[in-house]
Every structure is written in structure tokens, then in C-alpha cells.
Amino acid sequence: MRLASEEFGQGPELVFLHGWGANSALWRSWIEAHFVGYRITLIDLPGHGQSPQASWSDEALLDGWVDAIVAALPESAILVGWSLGGLLAQQIAWRYPQRVVSLVLMATSPCFVQREDWLPALEKPLFARYLTEVMQQTQQLLKSFFSLQALGSQQPKQLIKQLLPLMNQVMSGHQLSLRQGLWLLQTLDMRHQLAELTMPTLWLFADADAIVPSSLMAEIARWQPQASCQLIAASGHLPFLAQPSVTAEAIISFLQGKAHD
């Protein structure tokens, strides 16, 4: 499967992986404005944006998504993942550490759904409902999810307006890929692999994120003590839209070796 991707600019290789229900267009203008001096690769996840939908079984789903993304990567790159893209970036860095120079994980988690020993996450019944509604009430689910992402930002209505155009793009027969993404968010647990990620890693959390709670910072310090963590103030799940300059500066400082724990 060949994913839609786009490359532009010159410099160190910097790859961006977006979140569930989105595509590369959502953050392209932010990337263009702040990451001059890098060779940018934007990848649309399977069934998102311009990428084709694939009908992998649940058993083959993770391998299928990861292999498709890796096929679109430069030989060696800095990997920036937001939300679902961040969870997949963790998996790729663990499987192919030689391909990932460093890792930036934005508003994401090693485990998105609560377990008995893991509370800083979304509740299981919520994901069970999402998995049902994504095939039956796709439009309503997307509206609900976009509103959840905008919560905690200083101008949530403005952010929702930026997200709504995505709805028409993902409504056109891509329900299966949306379901696949939700299944990955529900089942994938990378906590025990974090200590094996030895490349420089930055976790960016938002103080008012309704999807990935900022309390996760303390857990990351335990599971991946070698990583750097930073909190973006006055932002929900979309720090690159709510606080574009602050978020970009945090990433660039990290890439230039100036990050602080």
C-alpha cells in the first residue's frame, strides 16, 4: 500500500504524522511557517487525507499501518507524531530505531485507554461507543471528537471551524480506516517499550488536554526517564494550532539540543 506523502524544503529530514480523523493539510501552514531549514515529509495515514483505504484484518492492522508508513519515510529522519500519529511514531521507533534520529511526541500517549494499572487515559466505554458510532453516525462522532480536541484552548470555536472542513474529506467512504485508527488507539500499549527507545525523545503535553491528560508527564518520567517533557500552557489537544509559536519553539529548541526536562 502506497500512502500519500509530500516533501518540500532542504535540511535535516523531519517527518510529521497527524492524528485520528485529520490529515496533513491541518498542520501544513504551521509547519511551513516554523520549520524553515528542514526537509519536510508530510504523510497521510491510511484512509486519511489523500491516502487510500485498506481492509486489513484486526490481526494484521498494526503491521499494515506501520509498514505503510515506514515505506514512505526517508532512510533516516526526525519523527514528529501528534495524537494517533505519536502512538504510531513510538511503534516505528521501537521497531526501526535505526530509521529514527530523534522523536517528538505531541499530545499523545503510550496507552490511550485506561487499564487497571493505568488511569491517565480515556475510559474504555468511550472507545467502545466510538467504535460503534464511527460506522453508523460518522458525522456526529467527528463533530464530538473535534469539539473534544478544541476544549481547553483560548479560542475553541475558532479551532473547531478549522477542523470542520476535515469532515467532508473523511466522510467520503473512509469509515473503515477511521474504525481501524480507533482500534489501534484502543488496543496499542507501548508503556513497556518506552525504556528501549534510546534516541533523544521529547514529549509535549498541553495543560488543558481533554484527551491526553497532562498528569501523564509524571508517568512518562517513570517509564522513560531519559526523555524530555514539556507542558504547553493555555492549550487543549491541538497545541500547534492553539499555541503555534510556543509549540514550534519547544520542538526546535529540542532539535537544536537546548531542551530542558
CATH of the domain at 24: 3.40.50.1820
CB 87, CB 191: distance < 8 Å: no
What is the structure's pLDDT at 169?
A: 67
User: Among the listed ranges 99-108, 143-152, 247-256, which one has the minimum average pLDDT value?
Assistant: 143-152
Name the residue with higher pLDDT: 212 or 175: 212
Q: What residue type is assigned to position 239 of the chain?
A: P
For the chain, how many structural domains are there in total? Answer: 1
Which is catalytic among the residues 5, 24, 83, 214?
83
User: Among the listed ranges 50-59, 115-124, 130-139, 172-181, which one has the minimum average pLDDT value?
Assistant: 172-181
Q: Looking at residues 150-159, what average pLDDT do you find?
A: 88
Paired strand residues for 222: none
Residue-wise pLDDT tens digits, 182-239: 999 999 999 999 999 999 999 999 999 999 999 999 999 999 999 999 999 999 999 9
- Asked if the structure places residue 122 within a domain, the reply is yes
Residue 209 annotated among the catalytic residues of the structure: yes
What is the structure's pLDDT at 162?
A: 84
Residue 237 annotated among the catalytic residues of the structure: yes
Which is catalytic among the residues 18, 48, 174, 237?
237
pLDDT band at 260 (very low <50, low <70, confident <90, very high): very low
**pTM of this prediction?**
0.95
pLDDT band at 155 (very low <50, low <70, confident <90, very high): confident
pLDDT band at 259 (very low <50, low <70, confident <90, very high): very low
Q: Which three cell numbers stand for residue 185?
A: 488507539
Confidence check: pLDDT of 258 > 70 = no
- Asked if the structure places residue 260 within a domain, the reply is no
Average pLDDT, the chain: 93
- Asked if the structure places residue 34 within a domain, the reply is yes
Residue for grid cell 503491521: 63
Q: Which three cell numbers stand for residue 2?
A: 502506497
Q: Which three cell numbers stand for residue 236?
A: 487543549
Which is catalytic among the residues 209, 214, 228, 235?
209
Domain that holds residue 70: 5-255
- Asked if the structure places residue 261 within a domain, the reply is no
Paired strand residues for 103: 79, 201
Residue 172 annotated among the catalytic residues of the structure: no
